[in-house]
Amino acid sequence: MRSEPRNKWLSYLLLILFGLVMIYPLIWLFVSSFKTNQDIFGSSRLFADTYVWDSYKLGWQGTGLYGFDTFFKNTLILVIPVVIFTIVSSVIVAYGFARFNFPLKTLLFSLMMATLMLPDATILIPRYILFNELGWLDTYLPFIVPAAFATSAFFIYLMIQFYRGLPRDLDESATIDGCNSFTILTRVLLPLCKPAIFSVGLFQFMWTWNDFFNSIIYISSVSKFTVSLGLRLSLDASSAVSWNQVLAMSVVAVLPCILLFFLAQKYFVEGISTTGLKG
């Protein structure tokens, strides 16, 4: 019996040590945002002898005509519609797959799952040519429009698995009470799907917020740059790079994702843990 408390404290100690190892890069990032270039590259110590206190102010101003206030505003203009449209379209499409029988359902579901296994690089050039023909380059439409048409098979599959875990008796009871399919979705199923919806929104927010590859392909005007492109622009300055400013803006860029995760942690963990369980 005495070994149980000892094992418990040992488990806590190991978890704390593992957590410190995982969070150390963030600690180093924050502390180094106040260091000089010489201290960042000249020493492996976490703390330095001298600190620079204006790195956040100067970093926020940017290196050219546009500062990070513009980049953050552009990122929000891009991310918010993408997240909203992704949630709405994924909820509707997943509802159809999970609750209805229709012709070619199996084939369409198989095609959707096939797109999930398809490497993104294989459709990069055809997608670029299509958006170029539509005149969508250097706009946010290549991100927003596909999100409105449920092009992310991962989120659809996640919602389907969550729907399958909800008893069909709920649908039958609502039908007896006079509800149609849309009312069943909005008034019965959606309130129960909050964990899965939060998971979809959180995943899409982080992926779109941190996306660099697609942003640099479709966006060319500096006035429309997102935060990730703004950070890269800071490294393209003709003069010497002030790494403390770059690291300071990296800290600011990471904060929204961290805050959103902790605010939605309860629903996120519940959505991930219950997705795929059938009741």
C-alpha of 162 from chain center: 20
**How far is it, in rounded angstroms, from Cα 204 to Cα 156?**
12
Mean pLDDT value of segment 156-179? 88
pLDDT tens, 4-48? 677 788 888 898 999 888 899 899 999 999 988 888 888 778 888
**How far is it, in rounded angstroms, from Cα 254 to Cα 270?**
23
Angle between helices 265-274 and 243-263 in degrees, nearest 10: 70
Residue 277 confidence (pLDDT):
45
Q: Is 29 exposed, middle or buried (0-12, 13-18, 19+ CB in 10 A)?
A: middle
Between 67-76, 152-161, 206-215, 261-270, the lowest mean confidence (pLDDT) is in: 261-270
**3-state secondary structure at position 56:** helix
Its pTM stands at: 0.87
**How far is it, in rounded angstroms, from Cα 219 to Cα 134?**
15
Share of the chain above pLDDT 70, in %: 93
**How far is it, in rounded angstroms, from Cα 252 to Cα 80?**
18
Any idea which residue has 């219950």 for tokens? 274
Q: Is 75 exposed, middle or buried (0-12, 13-18, 19+ CB in 10 A)?
A: buried
Report all structural domains of the chain as residue ranges with CATH numbers, in order of start.
Answer: 65-274 (1.10.3720.10)
DSSP H or E run through 32: helix 3-32
Residue 149 confidence (pLDDT):
94
Mean pLDDT value of segment 83-104? 93
C-beta neighbour count of 157 within 10 angstroms:
19
Q: How confident is the model at residue 3 (pLDDT cuts 50, 70, 90)?
A: low
pLDDT tens, 238-259? 567 888 899 999 999 999 998 8
Asked whether residue 203 carries a pLDDT value surpassing 80, the answer given is yes
